[in-house]
Structure 1
Amino acid sequence: MKNSLRNRITLHLDMDSFYSSVEVRERPELKELPVVVGSDPKGGNGRGVVSTCSYEAREFGIHSGMPISKAYRLCPDAVYLPVNMKLYKETSEKIMDIIRIFADRFQQVSVDEAYIDIGDSINDYESATLLAKKIKSEVKRIQGLTCSIGVAPNKVIAKIASDFNKPDGLTIVRPEEIQEFLFPLQISKIPGIGKKTQPALQEMGIETVGKLASCDVQLLISCFGKFGVVMHQLANGIDMREVKEREEVKSISNEDTFEEDISDPFEIKRSITDLSEKVHVSLLKKHFRFRTVTLKVRFEDFRTYTRAKTLHAATTDKEVIRKTSLSLMEEFIGKGRFRLLGVGVTKLERLDEKQTYLSDFL
């Protein structure tokens, strides 16, 4: 398959069980033990979830996103560790610095994933394979961690390929091998086909990528709307998105300057609710979660104040934005009339690629 924009070779690098691998690197005595990173299981009564786990823990049926209480029931003897995001981010930055050196274009999509476009400097898959091996070797040598890489003509195939032979895998999919590689796979391998879409496709008799690729696209559109076109294209290995660095976003906010100053609590609540909604929409569109909510108030005499509250964990919850902003606002109620109110979020963390993938198409 040829890209109509330009021929290219794309690599997708995915760190292997990143959080738990970093923990094992820091504490070698944990090597080959089942390690679970997440909230405190509290003897099976914990209410959090598994962030990630080692491959040894996966042998017990544990996986990311699982309730920590269930993980404890499956393997009470596992080593349970709290999330150390500061350590993981520091390690991630060092890994991404290594990868950038080899890229014509580079795009980090999460703390442990990145795309690398090498199509300007390399145009054959033998050289691309050697480069991928070099990247894996450098990450292992410098950071003591393994990664898996997919090498393919575009982003979607490279992403699927990087997950094909984990851990420490390297999977090459040449243009002439796309159908042979994709078509036998289960439809769940297509990014974005999840718990709701998969059963709907299965009811239509579509179990494999090949079946999805050969399905009448008009039928898919009638059942899934625009997403039907996206699924059909991905199943056929078509992905025209380019690899490009995303601009760093440090905050997302929205302000409301009133035509007439306000002091009525109902009007204040309505304004903050509207601002929270706008911030939330922008947050999801830009693929972030947040840890800090900020409030800005300006009185009629132009006195301006800001307040902020940092949460224990990052979230995308709209209600958290609204309720936190209203809570911060309580300090100022009854102290004058307001010319401006503003709501924002900071300490942003990019959502995982698997959580945001489809929004790049729709």
Structure 2
Amino acid sequence: MSVDLPIRKIIHVDMDAFYASVAQMDNPDLKGKPIAVGGGGKRGVISAASYEARKFGVKSAMSGRLAEKLCPDLIFVKTDFERYKELSYRIRSIFFDYTDLVEPLSMDEAYLDVTENKKGNPSATLIAKEIRQRIFNEVGLTASAGISINKFVAKIASDYNKPNGQKTVNPEDVLLFLEDLDIRKFYGVGKVTAEKMYQKGIFTGKDLKAKSLEYLDENFGKSGRYYYHVVRGIHNSEVKPNRIRKSLAAERTFSENLSSEIFMLEKLEHIAMEVNKRLSKSKVAGKTITLKIKYSDFTLQTRSKTLPYFVSDTSIILETAKQLLYQDKLKNSVRLLGISLSNLNTVKSSYTKATKDKEKSVSVQLKFEF
């Protein structure tokens, strides 16, 4: 690579079907069987599926009814977030044995910057292998990992040899790796964007790389610049040990569709109370309140209002949500309501000037050991 970049050794660790794997570990009778976490009842939505269930097309965010049609022998199990948190904490403690630069994305995945690590091991590949083995030995679960020069490539790589595998993309291989990728594999390219890219003849990273910055800006807005850089292996986002929460939300799916706004107000009160509880626990407040409405035909609508001050009080959140509910006529009966707060009063952390200056002075070396 000829581009001067901050060179890092980044590992993305992703647990394999975490919720489902925990259920199978805790109940050996479920091992080897197709299971779905959540999704029970006629309105249930699946949180996770075991690999045995995925073979039938069962996946997260799918309705339990559809999943059961795809896999008649599917076994539904309840979520157990306290158990997930317990195991996530144990897994994370393993990460911290290697580096303090750990950025959790969720309970089951995290980025690790091991450029300079506590073991003094120059090989990020060997560190990833050791971490995965320790997770298996000490927790009883399998994990997959991606290793490369930045978070973007590492995250893509972690999905390559799942389950229970890893992939290293060395500095000299990054550009070719990205060129060969189906555009759907690019982190940040969703289903709608992928379809738009297909329509414009962009099917692979190589096709994307052939487009100018001006073209991408014109056709994909603010995301155009992001696509232009990542396909060239440029992604300078640091591993942030203390990720800044950008929003906080709560929502409810109802057992029966609601068509009366009177009934919806009662539900909104409970949701607002839950949002307040989560705000208090996180010790944050927000200015922008968003009402999420999912209709019976599964179409989604959001309505937002930004206040001139930070709020966390239940009554203010509820009153604003009510205003948003009455803002426009509902299009259909409602199956889900949610309230979120964004524009939070969190302080953005930053690296020291010395760290930034050091990063600027380092170039990618083709013999950099991974």
What TM-score, normalized by structure 1, do the two folds share? 0.68
Deviation at 1:293, TM superposition (A): 2.7
Counterpart for residue 276 of structure 2: 294
Secondary structure of the residue that 1:294 maps to in structure 2? helix
Say if 2:3 is the partner of 1:7.
no
Aligned counterparts, 1:238-249, within 5 A: 238-246=234-242
- 1:48 aligned residue (30, 44, 67): 44
Aligned counterparts, 1:95-134, within 5 A: 95-121=91-117, 127-134=123-130
Q: Which moved more, 1:71-80 or 1:155-164?
A: 71-80
Q: Which moved more, 1:77-86 or 1:135-144?
A: 77-86
Q: Which moved more, 1:122-131 or 1:194-203?
A: 122-131
2:98–2:118: 8 Å Cα contact kept in structure 1? no
- 1:236 aligned residue (215, 226, 232): 232
Counterpart for residue 191 of structure 2: 195
Say if 2:61 is the partner of 1:65.
yes
1-side partners of 2:110 and 2:120: how far apart? 21
After superposition, the CA RMSD in angstroms is 3.6
Counterpart for residue 37 of structure 2: 37
Secondary structure of the residue that 2:191 maps to in structure 1? coil
2:85–2:107: 8 Å Cα contact kept in structure 1? yes
- 1:125/1:203 Cα in 2 relative to 1: closer, same or farther (>3 Å)? farther
Counterpart for residue 90 of structure 2: 94
Unaligned runs of 5+ in 2: 250-267, 282-288, 294-303, 306-313, 320-338, 345-370
Counterpart for residue 26 of structure 1: 26
- 1:172 aligned residue (168, 174, 196): 168
Aligned counterparts, 1:208-219, within 5 A: 208-219=204-215
- 1:242/1:61 Cα in 2 relative to 1: closer, same or farther (>3 Å)? same
2-side partners of 1:223 and 1:21: how far apart? 41
Deviation at 1:247, TM superposition (A): 5.2
Secondary structure of the residue that 1:183 maps to in structure 2? helix
Secondary structure of the residue that 2:65 maps to in structure 1? helix
Render the CA deviation track for 1:310-342: whole Å, top value 9, x for unaligned. Answer: xxxxxx9625899x747967xxxxxxxxxxxxx
Q: Taking CA–CA contacts closer than 8 Å with sequence separation of 6 or more, which of the two structures ends up with the larger relative contact order?
A: 2
1:107–1:114: 8 Å Cα contact kept in structure 2? yes
2-side partners of 1:220 and 1:328: how far apart? 41
Deviation at 1:245, TM superposition (A): 0.9
2:38–2:77: 8 Å Cα contact kept in structure 1? yes
- 1:160/1:59 Cα in 2 relative to 1: closer, same or farther (>3 Å)? same
2:57–2:70: 8 Å Cα contact kept in structure 1? yes
Opposite residue 22 of structure 1, the aligned amino acid is: V
- 1:204/1:94 Cα in 2 relative to 1: closer, same or farther (>3 Å)? same
2-side partners of 1:220 and 1:100: how far apart? 39
Aligned counterparts, 1:290-329, within 5 A: 292-294=274-276, 318-319=291-292, 325=315
Deviation at 1:97, TM superposition (A): 1.0
